Structure 1
């Protein structure tokens, strides 16, 4: 239950009551009445002008459901940075100290060769080969290293 104002006399009444207790206007007619913005008399909400003072009544614009604006997005180009870039120095150190186990091969994403080095590490052949690879890596320039392993 809510308390509403009578549009005719502005008396407070219940929205459940049949009519205004002050002026007697039926509540069924109340929803069709509005106040004139000029003379404040009750008029029909369908009238184009006030019947008392002649003030033109502006019809409210029909409600159109307008979707909310989409959030603006800053379209910055995505620059892919090669985060898996291998370091030539790290590869040389791994080949020098752990070359017998093929750790430098795993580091350079040559998993097959890394497993092969692990299988034959007991023969010390991978250790000898990794010393040659250290020399090759030392004399390889950065662009060639990045092209092959980057």
Structure 2
């Protein structure tokens, strides 16, 4: 497989890696982010486990309102329970699902 070929996310056909629009179906292609850019699900999982009672993982993931609500209600320990569940969900989710939700890929 050559490095200058990718697949269209809409129709699945092979296209040039430099293509901005699929020549087969005409869909606008999303640009690939460089490796190492964006948010990392393991960092988010560690933050959820260690500091999730204060909602730090939400700030890291760009969900500021959830973070603020976690800080406001941290005295109830409800954010800690939610953070532990979020920690487990982050660990079992796939990279593709995480990127689609938090990195807008």
TM-score by length of 1: 0.45
Aligned with 1:114 (options 58, 67, 80): 67
Partner of 1:149: 102
Alignment partner of 2:39: what SS? Answer: coil
Instruction: Choose 1 or 2 for highest CA Rg.
Output: 1
Partner of 1:140: 93
1:99 aligns with 2:65: no
Query: Greater helix percent: which structure?
Result: 2
1:126 aligns with 2:79: yes
> Number of paired residues?
72
Structure with higher RCO (Cα < 8 A, 6+ apart): 2
Distance 2:32 2:61 in 1: 20
What runs of 5+ residues in structure 2 fail to find an aligned partner?
A: 1-30
State the 1:148 CA deviation: 0.2
RMSD between aligned residues:
1.7
State the 1:80 CA deviation: 7.1
TM-score by length of 2: 0.64
